[in-house]
Amino acid sequence: MFVSDFRKEFYELVQNQRVLLFVASDVDALCACKILQALFQCDHIQYTLVPVCGWQELETAFLEHKEQIRLLIKQDDDLEVPAYEDIFRDEEEDEEEDEDHSGNDIDGSEPSEKRTRLEEEIADQTMKRRQRREWEARRRDILFDYEQYEYHGTSSAMVMFDLAWMMSKDLNDMLWWAIVGLTDQWVQDRITQMKYVTDIGILQRHVSRHNHRNEDEENTLSVDCTRISFEYDLRLALYQHWSLYDSLCNTSYTAARFKLWSVHGQKRLQEFLADMGLPLKQVKQKFQSMDISLKENLREMIEESANKFGMNDMRIQTFGIHFGFKHKFLASDVVFATMSLMESPEKDSPGTDHFIQALDSLSRTNLDKLYLGLELAKKQLQATQQTIARCLCTNLVVSQGPFLYCSLMEGTPDVMLFSKPASLSLLSRHLLKSFVCSTKNRRCKLLPLVMAAPLSVEQGTVTMVGIPPEIDSSDRKNFFGRAFEKAAESTSSRTLHNHFDLSVIELKAEDRSKFLDALITLLS
DSSP-derived letter for residue 150 is B
Which pLDDT score is estimated for 74? Answer: 41
CB atoms within 10 A of CB 425: 23
Q: Are strands 404-407 and 504-508 parallel, antiparallel or unpaired?
A: unpaired
Single pTM value for the model: 0.83
DSSP-derived letter for residue 192 is -
Q: Which residue has the higher pLDDT, 101 or 501?
A: 501
Which pLDDT score is estimated for 40? Answer: 92
* Span 459-507, pLDDT tens digits: 889 999 999 888 765 677 888 888 888 888 888 889 888 888 888 999 9
* Span 147-174, pLDDT tens digits: 777 888 889 999 999 999 999 998 999 9
Q: How far is C-alpha 298 from the geometric centre of its chain's CA atoms?
A: 30
pLDDT at residue 251 greater than cutoff 90: yes
Structural contact between residues 320 and 228, judged by C-beta atoms closer than 8 angstroms = yes
* Span 181-214, pLDDT tens digits: 999 999 998 888 899 999 999 999 999 888 876 5
Contacts by 454-461 with C-beta closer than 8 Å and gap 24+? Answer: 454/408, 454/409, 454/410, 454/415, 454/416, 454/419, 454/509, 455/419, 455/506, 457/410, 460/508, 460/509, 460/510, 461/496, 461/506, 461/507, 461/508, 461/509
pLDDT at residue 407 greater than cutoff 60: yes
pLDDT at residue 240 greater than cutoff 80: yes
Which pLDDT score is estimated for 88? Answer: 53
Which pLDDT score is estimated for 65? Answer: 83
DSSP-derived letter for residue 309 is T
* Span 281-330, pLDDT tens digits: 889 999 888 888 888 888 889 999 999 998 988 999 999 998 877 788 99
pLDDT band at 110 (very low <50, low <70, confident <90, very high): low
pLDDT at residue 351 greater than cutoff 50: yes
* Span 62-81, pLDDT tens digits: 888 877 776 544 433 444 45
* Mean per-residue pLDDT, 358-363: 92
CB atoms within 10 A of CB 299: 16
pLDDT at residue 28 greater than cutoff 90: yes
Q: How many helices (H) and strands (E) does the chain have?
A: 23, 11
Q: Where are the beta strands (DSSP E) in 468-522?
A: 495-496, 504-508
Q: Where are the beta strands (DSSP E) in 160-306?
A: 226-234
3-state secondary structure at position 257: helix
